[in-house]
Amino acid sequence: MLEPLMVEPLTADPEAPGQPPARPLTAIDRAITDYLQHMGVERGLAANTLSAYRRDLARYARHLARTGRQRPAEITRHDVTGFVQALSDGSDGGSALGIRSAARTVVAVRGLHKFWALEGVTPTDPASDVHPPMPGKRLPKAISVDEVTRILEAVGTDTATGLRDRALLEFLYSTGARISEAVGLDVDDISLHTAGEAGPAIVRLFGKGSKERLVPLGSFGARALDAYLVRGRPLLSAKGKGTPALFLNARGGRISRQSAWTILKTAAEKANITKDVSPHTLRHSFATHLLEGGADVRVVQELLGHASVTTTQVYTLVTADTLREIYAAAHPRALG
């Protein structure tokens, strides 16, 4: 039988173990210790997570002591929002935290107050409508069409692995596939045209939650893939045990995500691209270049396999910035 996890009582100055307390312990300190004991014993919180909660709530207790709060019932919403602000600017004497660390601390504080309210320690929950700080939307990192072209053309096609590398990178940019979708493909998932057929080839991709979607494959990607299937893959397949995987490694098995990442990094270095480029960069570039070319955002949503158009709309921010730059540089009365 496992022994219950023992939680060290919260001290007034836990960051200086063995030193005399900087202030007397309050009812808030003791109530926080009760909460930590509950989380450790009854909720089974992992030791590392519990330790993080303890540090976060110790800082909260010090903040409350500075404002003169002694008992949980005295804490107001203003005290909680003041602490959230202190996490960002360090006005409580602690280190200013980044958005993710501050959000984690606020989650701990919200959990504490919810527990107190449910247990009757406090009559209300002053943190119920105080939300963690949200990170700003990070714009997808896309590279230019010229940079994509340079990367693709940097791959030699005089070996079986070279043909594979060119086909893989052309495929990623042509379809906007996630790297996991690309390396998970089997030969039967693609449908390259025979002579006389019109329109782009079609590829079947399996996205998150095994959701299937059909995506067109442009002529450059189709030609690179056809060359690999005819002249490259048979040589690689002969070294393995007969896998249906589309993209093979040098031993004839399915290529890994890590290997695909290395292929792109190597091609980017050969093309003298100094930006940080990853397989996801090609996916971002695929979406950005489609929108810049006039594609409807809902079409791009379908091609990317996004469940919501809201996820895809972040790419429109990139193209809007491009439009602003062009307008500012070209319109005679844009600036003045």
Nearest to 127 by CA among 80, 63, 178, 64: 80
The answer to whether residues 74 and 169 belong to one domain is no
Q: In this structure, what are the phi and psi dihedrals at residue 125, rounded to the nearest 5 degrees? A: -115, 100
CATH number at residue 192: 1.10.443.10
The answer to whether residues 156 and 275 belong to one domain is yes
Q: What is the mean pLDDT of residues 299-307?
A: 80
Asked whether the whole model's pTM tops 0.75, one would answer no
Question: For residue range 245-275, what is the model confidence (pLDDT) as tens digits?
Answer: 999 999 999 999 999 999 999 999 999 998 8
Question: Does residue 47 fall inside a structural domain?
Answer: yes
Question: Does residue 77 fall inside a structural domain?
Answer: yes
CATH number at residue 121: 1.10.150.130
Question: Does residue 21 fall inside a structural domain?
Answer: yes
d(CA 193, CA 249): 25
Question: Does residue 335 fall inside a structural domain?
Answer: no
Q: pLDDT band for 195, please (50, 70, 90 cuts).
A: very low
- Of 95, 114, 135, at which residue does a domain stop? 135
What is the model's pLDDT at position 18? Answer: 43
Question: Does residue 20 fall inside a structural domain?
Answer: yes
Structure tokens at 14: 């836990």
The answer to whether residues 273 and 321 belong to one domain is yes
What is the model's pLDDT at position 214? Answer: 86
The answer to whether residues 15 and 162 belong to one domain is no
Domain holding 247, by residue range, is 145-330
The answer to whether residues 73 and 172 belong to one domain is no
What is the model's pLDDT at position 194? Answer: 46
The answer to whether residues 183 and 291 belong to one domain is yes
Structure tokens at 153: 């053309």
Find tokens 């119920």 and name the residue: 128
Length of the chain (residues): 336
Q: What's the structural domain count of the chain?
A: 2
What is the model's pLDDT at position 140? Answer: 62
Question: Does residue 237 fall inside a structural domain?
Answer: yes
Strands 212-217 and 201-206, bridge-based pairing: antiparallel
**% of the chain with per-residue pLDDT over 70:** 79
Instruction: Say if residue 292 is exposed, middle or buried (CB neighbours under 10 Å; 0-12, 13-18, 19+).
Output: middle
Angle (CA) 129-134-314 rounded to 5° is 130
Q: pLDDT band for 230, please (50, 70, 90 cuts).
A: very high
The answer to whether residues 15 and 117 belong to one domain is yes
Residue 149: helix, strand or coil by DSSP?
helix
The answer to whether residues 102 and 246 belong to one domain is no
Q: What is the mean pLDDT of residues 186-194?
A: 77
Instruction: Find which of 167-171, 203-207, 308-312 is predicted with most confidence, using mean pLDDT.
Output: 167-171
The answer to whether residues 59 and 155 belong to one domain is no
Q: Which of 18-27, 73-82, 324-333 has the lowest mean pLDDT?
A: 324-333
Q: Which of 92-106, 111-125, 257-271 has the lowest mean pLDDT?
A: 92-106
> Residue 184: what residue type?
G
pLDDT at 319 over 50: yes
Question: For residue range 38-78, what is the model confidence (pLDDT) as tens digits?
Answer: 888 887 777 888 888 999 999 999 999 999 999 999 999 99
Strand order in the sheet with 190-191: 190-191, 201-206, 212-217
The answer to whether residues 227 and 318 belong to one domain is yes
- Of 109, 135, 161, at which residue does a domain stop? 135
Question: Does residue 235 fall inside a structural domain?
Answer: yes
pLDDT at 16 over 60: no
The answer to whether residues 101 and 155 belong to one domain is no
Q: pLDDT band for 224, please (50, 70, 90 cuts).
A: very high
Contacts of 21 (CB under 8 A, 6+ apart): 11, 12, 13
Question: Does residue 243 fall inside a structural domain?
Answer: yes
The answer to whether residues 92 and 165 belong to one domain is no
Give catalytic residues, as residue numbers: 178, 208, 280, 283, 306, 315
